[in-house]
C-alpha cells in the first residue's frame, strides 16, 4: 500500500488494539493512565499513538490474555544483565504471526515452498514450547521451506558434505537460504568460497547483528558484492524484526540498503529529544508499529535502534523505506547472531 493508504487502513485498527489492550492488560492500562492518556482518546495519525519502550518487556509481564491461554512464551536474545523480554502468545496469535510472515515473504519467494538450507544447527529448535529469539526465527522460517538441510552439524561445525549434497539435489532450481547474518557469512559464504560452491539459484533471507561483520570491514554493500562475485548469489534480502513484534518483518528491497514495511505495519522515526516524527533524511529512534500483537500490548513499540527514513513511495515497493543505523548509545547488544556461541564465533 502507498503511505496514504497505509495510514488510512492501519490507524483505526491500531486505535482499536490500544483499547483492546487497555481492557485486557492491567499493567498497560496503568502505563497509559500515568501518561494522562484518556480511555476515550482519539488519534489523528499513527505517529500520535502511545508507544511503549521495547525494554518494558524485560522488566514487566505484559500480556492481554489470561495465563491459562498462554500457548507459547518467547524470550529475547539480550546478552547483558537487563534480562530477556518475555512475549506471550495464545494459539490465535501464534497462527497469525506465521500467516503474516508468510504473506510478507511471498513477495520474494513466490507461492511455493522451496528446498531450504538452514544456516544453523537443528539443536536450536529442540525445545518446542520456549524459544530463544534465534530458535524462534529458525523455526518460523522453516515453515516456508521443504527438504530442510542444516549447514552446521550437532557440534556447530560446517557440514560441507551435507551442503554439497543439497546443492547436487536442488541447486539447479530456486532454493531458500535462511540464517542470521554473521553465521551466514562465516558458515556459508566462507565455506562456499573455499569449496567453490554455486549458490546462484538461491534466495537468501538473513537478519541479526552486524557488529561482528563491521569489525571485519564487511557492511551490507560488501556482503552483497562478495556473495555475488564468489558464489553467484544475487537474490539477497536482509530484514529487520524483533521478538517483541514476532511475525512482523521489515524486508530489504531487491536493490538493497532500504527496508520496507509489510502492509500491516509501519515505522515512525522519532527525534530523541522532542519525540516528534522526523522528516525524511533525518536520523532518529525507530518506532515499529504492527496490527499483529493481540495477546500482548506490543503493537506500538519504541526500539533502542537508530534509523532514518530514506523516502516515501519512491523505492522498490510502496510506503516508507528506511535504514537501521545501529544501536542507541548504552543500549543492550542483542543481535541474534551475536549470541551464537559456536566454536569459531
Query: Across the chain, what does the average pLDDT equal?
Result: 87
Tell me how many helices (H) and strands (E) the chain has: 10, 15
180: Cα within 13 Å, side-chain hemisphere: 29
pLDDT at 309 over 90: yes
184/59 same-domain check: no
CATH classification of the domain holding 20: 3.40.50.12780
Residues 236 and 143 in one domain: yes
CATH classification at residue 181: 3.40.50
CA distances from 194 to 159, 188, 190, 239 (A): 13, 10, 6, 27
Choose one of 225, 240, 255: the last residue of a domain. Answer: 240
Distance in angstroms (rounded) separating the CA atoms of residues 55 and 170: 42
Looking at the structure, tell me whether residues 110 and 228 fall in a common domain: yes
Residue 335 domain-assigned (yes or no): no
Statement to judge: residues 114 and 229 lie in one domain: yes
Determine the 3-state secondary structure of 176 from DSSP. Answer: strand
Q: Does residue 135 sit in the same domain as residue 226?
A: yes
Whether 82 and 110 share a structural domain = no
Tell me, yes or no, whether 104 and 195 share the same domain. yes
Confidence of residue 132 (pLDDT cuts 50, 70, 90): low
The parent domain of residue 7 ranges over: 3-89+242-327
Same domain, 305 and 215: no
Does a structural domain hold residue 261?
yes
Mean pLDDT for the stretch of residues 260-272: 95
- Report pLDDT digits (tens) over 223-244: 999 999 999 999 999 999 888 8
For residues 51-63, average pLDDT: 91
Greater confidence (102 vs 269) lies with 269
pLDDT of residue 46: 96
Tell me, yes or no, whether 339 lies in a domain: no
Q: Which helix (H) or strand (E) holds 323?
A: strand 320-327
| Nearest C-alpha neighbor of 214 from the set 127, 325, 90, 111 | 325
Tally the residues of the chain. Answer: 345
Give the three-class secondary structure for 290.
strand
- Same domain flag for 133 and 232: yes
Counted domains in the chain: 2
pLDDT(179) > 50: yes
CA dist 87 and 76 (Å) reads: 8
Higher per-residue confidence, 137 vs 65: 65
| The C-alpha cell that represents 251 in the structure block | 524486508
Q: Is the separation of the CB atoms in 151 and 119 below 8 Å?
A: yes
**Do 235 and 270 reside in the same domain of the chain?**
no
Q: Is the pLDDT of residue 293 over 90?
A: yes
Kindly state whether residue 341 falls inside one of the protein's structural domains. no
Residue 337 lies in a domain: no
Entry pTM: 0.84
Amino acid at each position: 500500500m502507498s503511505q496514504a493508504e497505509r495510514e488510512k487502513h492501519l490507524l483505526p485498527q491500531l486505535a482499536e488494539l490500544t483499547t483492546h489492550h487497555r481492557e485486557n492488560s492491567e499493567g498497560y492500562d496503568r502505563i497509559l493512565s500515568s501518561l494522562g492518556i484518556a480511555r476515550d482518546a482519539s488519534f489523528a495519525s499513527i505517529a500520535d499513538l502511545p508507544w511503549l519502550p521495547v525494554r518494558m518487556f524485560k522488566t514487566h509481564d505484559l500480556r492481554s490474555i489470561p495465563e491459562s491461554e498462554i500457548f507459547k512464551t518467547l524470550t529475547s536474545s539480550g546478552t547483558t544483565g537487563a534480562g530477556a523480554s518475555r512475549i506471550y502468545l495464545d494459539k490465535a496469535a501464534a497462527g497469525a504471526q506465521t500467516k503474516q510472515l508468510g504473506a510478507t515473504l511471498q513477495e520474494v519467494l513466490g507461492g511455493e515452498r522451496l528446498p531450504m538450507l538452514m544456516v544453523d544447527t537443528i539443536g536450536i529448535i529442540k525445545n518446542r514450547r520456549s524459544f530463544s529469539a534465534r530458535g524462534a526465527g529458525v523455526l518460523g522460517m522453516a515453515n516456508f521451506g521443504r527438504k530442510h538441510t542444516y549447514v552446521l552439524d550437532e557440534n556447530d561445525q560446517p557440514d560441507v558434505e551435507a551442503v554439497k549434497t543439497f546443492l547436487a539435489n536442488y541447486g539447479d532450481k530456486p532454493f531458500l537460504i535462511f540464517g542470521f547474518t554473521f553465521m551466514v557469512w562465516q558458515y556459508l559464504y566462507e565455506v562456499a568460497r573455499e569449496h567453490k560452491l554455486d549458490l546462484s539459484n538461491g534466495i537468501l533471507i538473513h537478519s541479526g547483528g552486524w557488529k561482528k561483520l563491521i569489525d571485519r570491514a564487511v557492511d551490507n554493500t560488501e556482503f552483497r558484492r562478495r556473495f555475488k562475485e564468489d558464489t553467484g548469489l544475487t537474490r539477497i534480502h536482509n530484514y529487520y524484526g524483533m521478538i517483541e513484534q514476532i511475525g512482523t518483518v521489515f524486508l530489504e528491497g531487491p536493490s538493497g540498503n532500504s527496508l520496507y514495511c509489510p502492509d500491516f505495519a509501519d515505522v515512525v522515526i522519532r527525534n530523541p529529544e522532542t519525540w516528534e516524527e522526523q522528516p525524511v533524511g533525518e536520523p532518529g529512534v525507530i518506532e515499529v508499529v504492527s496490527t499483529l500483537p493481540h495477546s500482548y500490548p506490543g503493537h506500538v513499540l519504541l526500539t533502542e535502534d537508530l534509523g532514518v527514513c530514506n523516502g516515501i513511495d519512491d523505492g522498490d515497493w510502496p510506503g516508507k523505506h528506511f535504514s537501521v543505523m545501529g544501536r542507541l548509545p548504552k543500549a543492550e547488544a542483542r543481535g541474534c547472531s551475536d549470541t551464537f556461541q559456536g566454536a569459531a564465533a
